[in-house]
Amino acid sequence: MRNMTAFKIFSKIFYETIEVPVIVVKNVDTELNIGEIKIGPLNKGDRIKIPYRLLDILFKEKIVDIDVMNIPALSEIRKIAWIESRSNELQKLDKNFYINASMLIKKLENELIENYDANLLREIEEIKSLLYDLVKCRLNKILSLVISSHIPSRELVEKMTEEEKILYTQLCNHIGDWFSTMKKIIEGEI
């Protein structure tokens, strides 16, 4: 239970500190105060990085748009999911892959709200389906890796997204503790 709380705390910190690429679409001449974060002035056309937790606010206010030059397209997500599903080894993903893919979904869903298009809806559904398949495939590989060795591997961690790193290290810790307890039981030390 203690470690799951640590997992939630670490996840919260991660999502509060990550920065995402956006394009400023509206001039803001003054400094904006959003919570304890100050941002601005902003010039239309600038490509900047903002804290992920500000994305929804600034996106909904039409101050920024998602910078599609720095996020995966459907074709890239298809390729990544295809390669991952056919490989026995965990493939390297950008540490912010899932965040960036979620930004693509946000952008497309916003376009869908502004102008309904059945093809766009199918594209969004395909992206989500590919991502769920990718998550499940990678989770199976991570679980197998943890079972085969509960000592975290730096080489494996370098292939993982930030979310996967958290999961992997927590699982390694839990399985390591459990294995130590089982060893003591088997050896008659308990």
pLDDT tens, residue by residue, 140-188? 999 999 999 989 999 999 999 999 998 999 999 999 999 999 999 999 9
pLDDT tens, residue by residue, 13-49? 666 778 888 999 999 888 888 878 888 899 999 999 9
Query: The domain at 18-66 falls in which architecture?
Result: 3-Layer(aba) Sandwich (3.40)
In whole angstroms, give the CA distance from residue 92 to residue 84. 9
Q: Quick check: 64 and 22 in contact, CB under 8 A?
A: yes
Domain boundaries along the sequence of the chain = 18-66, 71-190
Query: The domain at 71-190 falls in which architecture?
Result: Up-down Bundle (1.20)
Q: Quick check: 161 and 94 in contact, CB under 8 A?
A: yes
Please indicate whether the domains covering 18-66 and 71-190 agree at the CATH topology level. Answer: no
